[in-house]
Amino acid sequence: MAILVNWFEVTFDRKGFELPYCDVPTWEEATAMLRARGAAEIVRSKVDDSVRLHFVTGRPTTACETENVLTHSDVSIIARIVETNLGQHFKRAGAQVVTNRWGMEATREVEKFAAAGVTLRQGIHAK
């Protein structure tokens, strides 16, 4: 039986983050923008009659405004900020990092078994 433990304490020196955002009328239009800005870290959420896209990294190509997102407010935005920075930390240490809507995964090669064509990787997942 395996016991998996990933535990990171996160503290913020700041009370909020100024993030660019843009509002689009529908979830489908938001999906199109997400696909068009593949490398950017974007969090989308439903706001009244529209969908708001907060850019954690990158900037929108359309007109945008900025909003001060408090560290104790929208958990999905703050989680993406943590995942992005944690991923950058592991990337600097040589890990292979994949970030998607399910979180951040950082892995490193532990051992390669060339005869069997198998590579053993070890890593963490943060969401």
With beta carbons less than 8 A apart as the criterion, state whether 34 and 41 touch: no
pLDDT digits (tens, 9 = 90+) for 28-60: 988 888 888 777 788 888 888 899 999 988 887
d(CA 35, CA 33): 5
- Domain assignment present for 86: no
Structurally, the chain folds into a number of domains equal to: 1
Rounded to whole angstroms, how far apart are CA atoms 106 and 104? 7
> How close are the terminal C-alpha atoms of the chain, in Å?
23
Which domain range does residue 43 map to?
A: 15-73
Stated length of the chain: 127
- pTM for the whole structure: 0.76
CATH classification of the domain holding 57: 3.30.70
Tokens representing 67 are 């909003």
Of residues 63 and 13, more confidently modeled: 13
Q: Is residue 62 part of a domain?
A: yes
Q: What is the pLDDT of residue 4?
A: 63
